[in-house]
A and B are shown apart, each in its own frame.
Chain A
Amino acid sequence: MEVVFSLAVGVLAGSGVYLLLRPRTFQVIMGLSLVAYAVNLFIFGMGRLRIGDAPVIDPARGSDPALYTDPVPQALVLTAIVIGFATTALFLVVLLASRGLNGTDHVDGREPDKE
């Protein structure tokens, strides 16, 4: 499972970074989203990968911490998802404003001069 998980994080982060370096604003926002997914998975993984364990204490199972998965990274992921969602929405608005004002979707607001 660890191998699959780290491959998923790596592929997401790699394609995200590639897209981030592309010149079109849409590619940049897709890249940012992919890197954000990779980062969210990574935070989740930092709580150690456990199968079938809940982070919330269940009276039926008792209070032994070994029976539960670490709740802190899951709370962090939640916060990160919310913040990432808001900033992505904001970036979309800026992207559309730039497209509307300049008539191009190049990140510099104008097409590069063709030699």
Chain B
Amino acid sequence: MSNWQQHLPVLPVLLPLCAGAILLFPGETRRGLRAAIALGATLLQLLVAIVLLAMTDGHTSTPWNGEIGVYSLGNWAAPFGIVLVVDRLSALMLTLTATLGLAALVYSLARWERGGIHYLPLFQFLLMGLNGAFLTGDLFNLFVFFEVLLAASYGLVLHGSGPVRVKAGLHYIAVNLLASLLFLIAAALIYGITGTLNMAELAQRVAPLAGDERSLFNLGAVLLGIVFLVKAGAWPLNFWLPAAYGAATAPVAGIFAILTKVGVYALLRFAVLLQGPGAPVPFGGDWLFYCGLATIATGTLGVLGAQKLERLAGFLVIVSSGTLLAAFGFTGTTLTGPALFYLVSSVLGSGAFFMLIEMTERNRAAAADLLAISFEAFGLQDKHDSEHPDEMVGVAIPAAMAFLGLAFISCALLLSGLPPLSGFAAKFALLSAALAAPPEAPTLHAGLFVAALLLSGLAGLMSLSRLGVRVFWSAERATPHLQWMEAAPVAGLILLCVALSVGTGPALSFFNATARSLHHGPAYVDAVLPGATP
């Protein structure tokens, strides 16, 4: 077992798959066992992801040459077999997924997983889809992993049931099914023209295309781009997002914070592979930049108009997606590193925020009613709260309100990008990179980007403080009861952001190194297809 390291890249897919399958067997009542399996699998995923991150960043020895690890499934060589590719960006996204997944899982174990059946297996399958989408080096496998994560997310968005969730879930499923069909058309078209589904070989075969073949290929690439933009929640394809995220149960919405980033990741990956003269939109040109700006604008309007914290959080996710799209669409590659920093910070922040708002809003009558209905429907109500359906189970933390207030302020600072937390560091890095970009990039673009970033931050701050005042300073609301298992993940995510802001320097240099290795396209092709490039 001297070369155990070479099998690490497949573990993030295998672990949740096996854990999810095993979780189907013990009955719903054996909570201790099920929780132990789910927690163990997620912890292991986090461990594997961190080891992969250390390996791709060159801190430990690697079994492969260079920074990029390639795992051939069944040991079939690259263009014929299916490969998993792990580079810095993949490892970073894996770590982020596992971190957020662990937090959401711990939170849901407190009581949310009892709101319906098969929560834990679906959760593991969602993690499997996410990990697979970040790892795969094959276009069709990307589709399959997208389907795995979407199928799990369909189940999770309906978790807890109720008319609101079913309505939002219906729209969410219909939109995403259609997007999946477009993905199939795009994959088939690209295969029909280039004769390959391997992403590295695709990058090689695209360059010599010309004439009719080129236009057909561009058509396929555009369809692919539309699919990724739907997933990323870009305007005008994002109207399903706030309703679905707002209606989902808190831990599900928390893990969904990373779902839009899968689309962003895929866009970025293909933009690098297809770069060069004549790259099709949205992977090349200014198109993505303006799409990102429009997304920021609609998200900001939604943030200003939101009357409920859940919807506000959904619109904040749209704003962060828009910021990322605009940053990746910006001319040049200097913004990629800061944008990755922003991605990590905003995913952690919005994940914590989705879980936090459920805790602050649980003394509101409507949410309690909805919960009571779903708990009744499944006959899973606890003995403790049968007398007082409005009061939740759990030891009252004496300083519950203080904790909630502090966490809310931290999330508000993170999401609107104010000092001293990592949201500020990320936005500052983005702004300084954008301001330093002209002469290479048009000054107009830099100005628009800076204005959009600042205005969206201001709108977020206004809306968050307005709703925060209403929630925290109203006299008639009772202090909500919290459990340690619900407070701890939120606190953990916020502490991670604090750590990220303390270590801004090393973090930013890591993200810049990630961006550099990502934009060095030939390295990716060389690693997957050794000896193919002249």
Contacts and interface: CB of A to CB of B under 8 A. Distances in A.
A26 interface: no
Interface stretch (B14-22, B164-172, B331-339, B431-439): B164-172
Nearest to A75: B140
Contacts of B158: 94, 97
Given A28-B174, A32-B178, A39-B185, 16 more contacts: A36-B181, A73-B191, A76-B184, A79-B144, A87-B154, A87-B173, A87-B180, A91-B173, A94-B158, A94-B169, A95-B170, A101-B166, A102-B167, A107-B171, A109-B163, A109-B170
A76 B169 CA distance: 28
Interface in A41-70: 42-43, 45-48
B185 A87 contact: no
A72 to B, nearest CB: 7
Nearest to A16: B181
Contact of A80 (B178, B184, B191): B184
B370 to A, nearest CB: 12
A73 B188 contact: yes
Contact of B188 (A28, A32, A76): A76
A90 interface: yes
Nearest to A108: B167
Contacts of A36: 181
B163 A101 contact: yes
B177 interface: yes
A72 B191 CA distance: 9
A87 B151 contact: yes
A35 B181 contact: yes
Given A32-B178, A46-B191, A94-B158, A76 B140 contact: yes
B147 interface: yes
12 contacts: A28-B174, A42-B188, A46-B188, A47-B192, A86-B151, A87-B177, A90-B151, A90-B154, A91-B174, A94-B166, A97-B158, A98-B170
Nearest to B189: A46
B170 A107 contact: yes
A63 B496 CA distance: 58
B244 interface: no
Interface residues of A, number: 32
A20 B178 contact: yes
Contacts of A83: 144, 147, 180
Contacts of B174: 20, 28, 32, 91, 107
Among A20, A35, A102, max chain B CB count under 10 A is at A35
Nearest to B220: A46
Given A79-B144, A80-B184, A97 B173 contact: no
Contacts of A32: 174, 177-178, 181
Nearest to B190: A46
B149 to A, nearest CB: 12
Given A43-B184, A46-B188, A90-B154, A79 B170 contact: no
A48 B188 CA distance: 11
Interface string B175-215: 00110110011011101100001000000000000000000
A109 B192 contact: no
A22 B166 CA distance: 19
A101 B140 CA distance: 37
Given A39-B185, A76-B191, A79-B140, A91 B177 contact: yes
A76 B166 contact: no
Given A72-B191, A94-B158, A101-B163, A25 B170 contact: yes
Contacts of B144: 79, 83
B191 A98 contact: no
Contacts of B185: 39, 42-43
Given A73-B188, A107-B171, A97 B178 contact: no
A98 B166 contact: yes
Q: Which 5 A-B pairs have the closest CB atoms?
A: A46-B192, A43-B188, A109-B167, A46-B188, A101-B163
Contacts of B180: 83, 87
Nearest to A93: B158
Contacts of A98: 166-167, 170
A81 B294 CA distance: 36
A80 B185 CA distance: 11
A114 B144 CA distance: 43
Contacts of B170: 25, 94-95, 98, 107, 109
A91 B169 CA distance: 10
B161 interface: yes
A23 to B, nearest CB: 12
Contacts of B155: 90
Contact of A90 (B167, B173, B181, B188): B173
